[in-house]
Amino acid sequence: MTPLATDWDQYYDRPAPTAHLTRRYTAHWLQTMMRRFTAGKPALSVVEFGGGNSCFFKGLTQALPIARYEIVDLNAKSLALFEQQGREVPTVRTAAHRADLLKEVPALEPADIVYSVGLIEHFSPEGTREVARRHFSCVKPGGIVIITAPTPTWLYRTVRGAAETIGVWAFPDERPLQPAEIVKAGDGLGTLRHAATLWPQVLTQHAVVWQAQGR
């Protein structure tokens, strides 16, 4: 039987009511990591994989000297929503690209930072490995790659189990990943700079930062 897929149109129409709380924490963590590992750069370029209608775009562009911000996602509705966001921040050059990251990456100008939050867990182990490694194909030599994905801590299992029991779990294809599987994505492509489990997310995520190798 083919596993059910997440309904991303529904997700963007009706985000979870608690999402703004966990996103605020994640946004702060992302800002801290990006600031730490790009210190001294006057104008940053960012590519977000699977970001759709990015909930991090405005906060990051307010906190960091970002001149270019691009999104790559397969969901058309989310990309249209991001384009609207981009028009509200005219000082940043934005673009939204529709692509199936299992198959391709659009021709993008390499960026200082390439990142995803909650993307690579929606694929098979082979797909996860492929999509994770594609992050490195879009980053500048010496640039930063950040990937976060759910990890099956006791807290994650408890909260997800409760949500599934009452029928409100919205991500049937989510496959929580062990930290080692996430870290391994950068083997041979980047130097591990930081790794942490983000417990305040409640549906805990393991987050990893690499510095891409020079070419």
Beta-carbon count within 10 A of 149 CB: 26
In this predicted structure, what is the pLDDT of residue 12?
53
Give, for 81, the enclosing helix (H) or strand (E). Answer: helix 76-87
CATH assignment at residue 203:
3.40.50.150
Contact 28, 206 (CB under 8 A): no
φ/ψ of 70, rounded to 5, equals -125, 145
Task: Decide if 2 is inside a domain.
Answer: no
Task: Decide if 1 is inside a domain.
Answer: no
Total domain count for the chain?
1
> If you ran DSSP here, which 8-state letter would residue 102 be given?
T
Task: Decide if 3 is inside a domain.
Answer: no
Beta bridge partners of 47: 70, 114
Q: Please check the confidence at residue 214 and state whether its pLDDT lies above 90.
A: no
Kindly indicate the confidence band of residue 181, based on its pLDDT and cuts at 50, 70 and 90. very high
Q: Is the pTM of the predicted complex or chain greater than 0.75?
A: yes
Distance CA 101, CA 117 (A): 14
Task: Decide if 123 is inside a domain.
Answer: yes
Which residues have a Cβ under 8 Å from the Cβ of 2 and sit 6 or more positions away? none
The burial class, CB within 10 Å (0-12 / 13-18 / 19+), for 14 is: exposed
Q: Which domain holds residue 164?
A: 8-212
pLDDT tens figures, 46-103: 999 998 788 999 999 999 999 999 999 998 898 999 999 999 999 999 999 999 999 9
In this predicted structure, what is the pLDDT of residue 2?
46
Beta-carbon count within 10 A of 27 CB: 18
Task: Decide if 66 is inside a domain.
Answer: yes
Distance CA 128, CA 134 (A): 10
